[in-house]
């Protein structure tokens, strides 16, 4: 039995309570960001439910359309995108919503009408793995709206250093949210029975080192030479390889266990495959807030100045010592 004092001081903390407590630390906070995180949490719970039921509800497989990047859209990509639009579209402080699945950002309201934030997201990253029941996820990034900028795409093209919040929801063997609002990374697990995300870890730290590398090694022959040399080093230095092919799952494992995750330039994707604004930047903010690092080429990922919504970048992220090791080679 736990001592009664322990029970008082080890309160169950829901995401909602956590966000309110964080807000209370900043007397000038208006609560707008808390409303957005609460909408993201509702979207996450709704998508988690759809993901679990996808085969039963016969919504696996192609939707019959392509997104702006020429990629086949799956029924679940479209469903997850719609859920996010329905959960976030009505939040008074959101100026612009931008999604991997939409060609253009949607302007919801101007700053004169209270539009204070932009929210960018990948509704269901790794969705091509859904039919094999692999973990997939929603990735999100929140930035401030620029009241001077009328164009939606230019508004959202902000460097990652300007993010005010970022995170992901992983629909895996459990549903997990990792969130940062710029003061460390906290982790929440969805308790299905009560319908709440409950905090399970605060101020997470990625291990300084970790001998796991995560990369689609089938592309190795078309990686720039430095990556090939790094892989030869890893092969002969006792490293192990783990690659799920679903970024949220691969990054989550990297955050928990340490190591590196990489998506380098390839012959097929000379700029890398992952999208800067709603995949690489939010993951970079989480990594840095947990004591890790993220680079895209020579630059910190979050210092890359975007010039278009669906821009791709190479990604190298993870434990600081391991990221440094890769950088010695590339």
- Interface with ligand AHM by CB under 6 A: which residues? 71, 100, 122, 125-128, 216, 245-247, 250, 273
Give backbone dihedrals phi and psi of 297, rounded to 5 degrees, phi first. Answer: 65, -135
Smallest separation (angstroms) from Mg ion to the CB of 90: 25
216 binds, among ligand AHM, Mg ion, none (CB under 5 to 8 A by kind): ligand AHM
Query: Residue 17: enclosing H or E segment and its boundaries?
Result: helix 15-24
Query: Residue 58: enclosing H or E segment and its boundaries?
Result: none
Beta carbons within 8 Å of 85's beta carbon, 6+ residues apart: 97, 99, 106
Give backbone dihedrals phi and psi of 323, rounded to 5 degrees, phi first. Answer: -65, -40
17/269 with CB nearer ligand AHM: 269
88/247 with CB nearer ligand AHM: 247
- Nearest residue to 125 via CA among 83, 76, 89, 165: 76
* 125 binds Mg ion per the rule CB under 5 A: yes
* Distance separating alpha carbons of residues 214 and 253, to the nearest angstrom: 10
115/263 with CB nearer ligand AHM: 263
- From the CB of residue 192, how many other CB atoms can be counted at a distance below 10 Å? 13
123/258 with CB nearer Mg ion: 123
71 binds, among Mg ion, ligand AHM, none (CB under 5 to 8 A by kind): ligand AHM
How many residues of this chain bind Mg ion (CB under 5 A)?
2
Smallest separation (angstroms) from Mg ion to the CB of 192: 25
- With CB under 5 A as the contact rule, which of the stretches 3-11, 36-44, 116-124, 238-246 interacts with Mg ion? 116-124
22/125 with CB nearer ligand AHM: 125
Smallest separation (angstroms) from ligand AHM to the CB of 227: 14
* Distance separating alpha carbons of residues 122 and 47, to the nearest angstrom: 12
Smallest separation (angstroms) from Mg ion to the CB of 100: 5
* Distance separating alpha carbons of residues 19 and 27, to the nearest angstrom: 13
- With CB under 5 A as the contact rule, which of the stretches 52-60, 66-74, 123-131, 254-262 interacts with Mg ion? 123-131
* 250 binds Mg ion per the rule CB under 5 A: no
Smallest separation (angstroms) from ligand AHM to the CB of 225: 20
3-state secondary structure at position 222:
helix
Smallest separation (angstroms) from ligand AHM to the CB of 230: 17
- Nearest residue to 264 via CA among 222, 198, 314, 328: 314
Give ∠ CA 231-257-188 in degrees, rounded to 5. Answer: 135
39/247 with CB nearer ligand AHM: 247
- With CB under 5 A as the contact rule, which of the stretches 48-56, 86-94, 122-130, 192-200 interacts with Mg ion? 122-130
151 binds, among ligand AHM, Mg ion, none (CB under 5 to 8 A by kind): none
252 binds, among ligand AHM, Mg ion, none (CB under 5 to 8 A by kind): none
Q: Are 60 and 72 in contact (CB under 8 A)?
A: no
- With CB under 5 A as the contact rule, which of the stretches 16-24, 89-97, 124-132, 140-148 interacts with Mg ion? 124-132
- Nearest residue to 41 via CA among 133, 140, 143: 140
* 122 binds Mg ion per the rule CB under 5 A: yes
125/293 with CB nearer ligand AHM: 125
145/301 with CB nearer ligand AHM: 301
DSSP letter (8 states) at residue 71: P
For residue 270, give Cα distances in angstroms to 29, 222, 266: 42, 9, 5
* Distance separating alpha carbons of residues 76 and 61, to the nearest angstrom: 8
Query: Residue 53: enclosing H or E segment and its boundaries?
Result: helix 32-53
Q: Which residues bind Mg ion (CB under 5 A)?
A: 122, 125
């Amino acid at each position: 039995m736990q001592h009664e004092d322990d029970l008082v001081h080890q309160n169950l903390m829901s995401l909602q309570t956590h966000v309110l407590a964080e807000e209370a630390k900043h007397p000038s906070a208006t609560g707008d960001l808390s409303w957005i995180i609460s909408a993201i949490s509702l979207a996450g719970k709704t998508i988690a439910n759809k993901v679990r039921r996808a085969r039963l509800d016969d919504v696996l497989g192609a939707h019959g359309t392509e997104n702006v990047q020429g990629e086949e859209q799956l029924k679940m990509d479209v469903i997850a995108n719609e859920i996010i639009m329905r959960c976030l579209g009505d939040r008074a402080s959101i100026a612009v919503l931008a999604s991997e699945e939409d060609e253009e950002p949607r302007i919801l309201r101007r700053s004169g009408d209270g539009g204070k934030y932009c929210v960018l997201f990948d509704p269901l990253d790794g969705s091509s793995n859904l039919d094999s029941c692999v973990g997939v996820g929603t990735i999100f990034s929140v930035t401030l709206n620029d009241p001077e900028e009328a164009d939606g795409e230019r508004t959202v093209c902000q460097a990652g250093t300007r993010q005010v919040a970022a995170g992901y929801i992983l629909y895996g063997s459990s549903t997990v949210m990792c969130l940062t609002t710029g003061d460390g990374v906290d982790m929440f697990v969805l308790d299905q029975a009560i319908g709440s995300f409950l905090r399970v870890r605060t101020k997470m730290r990625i291990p300084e080192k970790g001998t796991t590398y995560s990369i689609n090694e089938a592309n190795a022959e078309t990686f720039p030479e430095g990556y090939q040399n790094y892989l030869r080093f890893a092969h002969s230095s006792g490293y192990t390889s783990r690659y799920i092919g679903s970024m949220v799952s691969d990054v989550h494992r990297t955050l928990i266990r340490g190591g590196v995750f990489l998506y380098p330039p390839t012959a097929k994707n000379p700029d890398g495959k992952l999208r800067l604004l709603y995949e690489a930047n939010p993951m970079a903010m989480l990594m840095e807030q947990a004591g890790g690092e993220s680079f895209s080429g020579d630059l910190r990922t979050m210092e890359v100045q975007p010039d278009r919504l669906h821009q791709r970048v190479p990604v190298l992220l993870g434990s600081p010592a391991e990221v440094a090791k890769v950088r010695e080679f590339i």
